[in-house]
Structure 1
Amino acid sequence: MKEEVAANGGERLGESAWKHLIVSRDGPTVEVELHRPSARNALNAAIIKELTEVARLLRRRSDVLAVILAGGETNFSAGADLSAGEADAAVGPSKVPTLLEAREELMTGPDLCRAWEEIEAVTIAAIEGYCLGGGCAIAMACDFRIMAEGAYMRLPEIPLGMNMSWNSVPRITTLVGPSRAKRFVILGEAVDAETCVGWGMADEVTKKGEARAVSRAWAAKVSTLPPIPVRMTKEAINAQATATHLISSFADRDQFLLTSRTEDYKEGIAAFLEKRKPAFRGN
């Protein structure tokens, strides 16, 4: 039986506590569902804040053994929200942020992924449909990824004139190796569920519409195991696998600041919004 999740100090993690998330609990498993259907679960500042907060509240919950992160029935997430309205809302209609302010703002993505990576319970991303950009970054920060038939992952950042940030490139490289990481990140092409499993980027392909059900079965399997060695093993593997991640990705927000001030970036975003092919010139 599902119920709202009570957090420490009496704060509630239930559905009523969130605008863009649906959070529920079934025994030792908590499900967090992205719920911004009007924008295809695109990640704006508000939903990023909520996703970070819920991950931090769940980080050391000893009564939670598994956490499932899911999108909608037809898509996981369209990635970062690039709409003009969201861009204006981020800085205000008459305020241009300083470079320092912009640099600080760009920590929200890395902070989000780190918060999900640091949850002590086992985390599982249930992916239906497309999982783009920032959606991929969050999924890569989880322990496992279950993808339905027809689902795919894609990083559109470089074809849009920017670099892939959110400290996600080392996570991708650790999972698939350098050659496939370059192919996935640089080309910006869709990688289907079967290929993701073959590369090691996902863990199982299910029938369409069953990604969440299979994720629940994985969570149930985890919940039958002794929680202390499970958590210690997750911590040990993550410590080894991510030991050099910060060293290799600490500057990716500064790389984004650089690319976001190029003419190619302006052209990439304009072409995206105008639904046309961009003409990049290397400036």
Structure 2
Amino acid sequence: MERRFVKVEKGLGPQGRIAVVRFDRGDNINALSGQAMRELRDVPRDFEDDLETSVVILTGSAKAFSAGFDLKDPEGRQRDTLAVGERIQRQRLGPRMCKAWQDMDQVTIAAIEGHCIGGGAALVVSLDFRFCGRSAHFRIPEVELGMNMSWGSIPRMLALMGPARTKQAVILASDRIGSAEALDWRLVERVVEDGQALPTAMEFAERIAKQPPIPVRMTKASVNRLAHALDDLAAHMDSDQNVLTGLTEDYKEGTSAFREKRRPTFKGR
């Protein structure tokens, strides 16, 4: 598949052990359309047999990591007309994208500038480390759109932030999480000056790249297996739940309010 929105550059840093993946749609919004998600899902396959790369950095544009799922994408809007089985199948693209990044053998780092919203946040919590610019902010808007937060992200956020902060971030969907809060909540590991997220991630990646590759991979695998051992138990139905909430009146109200730029009124049905 030809990649329109994602570029991969390998062979950087010490002994060429660092790669940078740039997701940039050229509009400073960087929404996750179906095409964009398929491209991002397939990137980890480039590294499956790559024993030379130790670290992969994922970054967006200079002003935006991602605005999340593209509600204006014609392909995405088709799901409202699909049968339930087809909706469930279509909904699996996001979770598979995130799982592919989590399962990479290489150490992964997100370099975040600007907004990181919804599916963008789901993607970055699938990586090993997150660095962001001081003006970056995060938001999890799914509940306010009348749906649940899915893509397997709840267990990952829980592992990073703990129960209370995860509930706060997801349930209070209108609240922006600024960079200082994100650091305090352990959603990110480091906050740097604007425009420095990628250079800082590169410096950190260089330190990892100088370590012996085999035990680095072994360490990541061991930590991830322990930290995420129960993820499937917690998240195996979140795609189904997303389809279910997508059939509610509240979902129609939430997405309509988003497009019409007004506050939604939910009725619990």
1:248 aligns with 2:237: no
The structure 2 residue matched to 1:58, chosen from 47, 50, 60, is 47
The one-letter code matched in structure 1 to 2:62 is E
Q: Cα 1:235–1:198, aligned 2, differ >3 Å: closer, same or farther? A: same
Offset at 1:85?
Answer: 2.9
Alignment correspondent of 1:263 = 249
Deviations 1:153-190 (A, max 9, x none): 11000011110000100000011100111001111221
Offset at 1:193?
Answer: 1.2
The structure 2 residue matched to 1:196, chosen from 167, 172, 182, is 182
The one-letter code matched in structure 1 to 2:257 is A
Alignment correspondent of 1:7 = none
Offset at 1:60?
Answer: 4.1
Distance 1:136 1:200 in 2: 13
Alignment correspondent of 1:74 = 63
Identity %: 39
Give the TM-score normalised by the residue count of structure 1: 0.90
**1:174-193 equivalent positions in 2, closer than 5 A:** 174-188=159-173, 189-193=175-179
Alignment correspondent of 2:137 = 152
Give the TM-score normalised by the residue count of structure 2: 0.95
The structure 2 residue matched to 1:208, chosen from 180, 194, 201, is 194
Alignment correspondent of 1:45 = 34
1:83 aligns with 2:72: yes
Distance 2:132 2:164 in 1: 22
Distance 2:33 2:191 in 1: 29
Offset at 1:31?
Answer: 0.7
Offset at 1:38?
Answer: 2.8
The one-letter code matched in structure 2 to 1:210 is Q
1:217 aligns with 2:206: no
Distance 2:92 2:49 in 1: 22
Distance 2:154 2:42 in 1: 23
**Residues 28 and 64 in structure 2, CA contact (< 8 A), matched pair in contact too:** no
The structure 2 residue matched to 1:100, chosen from 67, 77, 85, is 85
Deviations 1:70-117 (A, max 9, x none): 0110110000000163434x45xxx94221111111111110011000
Distance 2:147 2:162 in 1: 22
Distance 1:97 1:277 in 2: 27
**Residues 34 and 76 in structure 2, CA contact (< 8 A), matched pair in contact too:** no
Comparing 194-203 and 112-121, the one that deviates more: 194-203
Q: Which has the higher contact order (CA 8 A, sep 6+)?
A: 2
The one-letter code matched in structure 2 to 1:46 is Q
The one-letter code matched in structure 1 to 2:54 is L
Distance 2:46 2:108 in 1: 14
Unaligned runs of 5+ in 2: none
Distance 1:81 1:164 in 2: 15
**1:95-174 equivalent positions in 2, closer than 5 A:** 96-174=81-159
Q: Cα 1:131–1:39, aligned 2, differ >3 Å: closer, same or farther? A: same
Q: Report the secondary structure of 1:37's partner residue.
A: coil
Distance 1:212 1:176 in 2: 23
Distance 1:37 1:269 in 2: 25
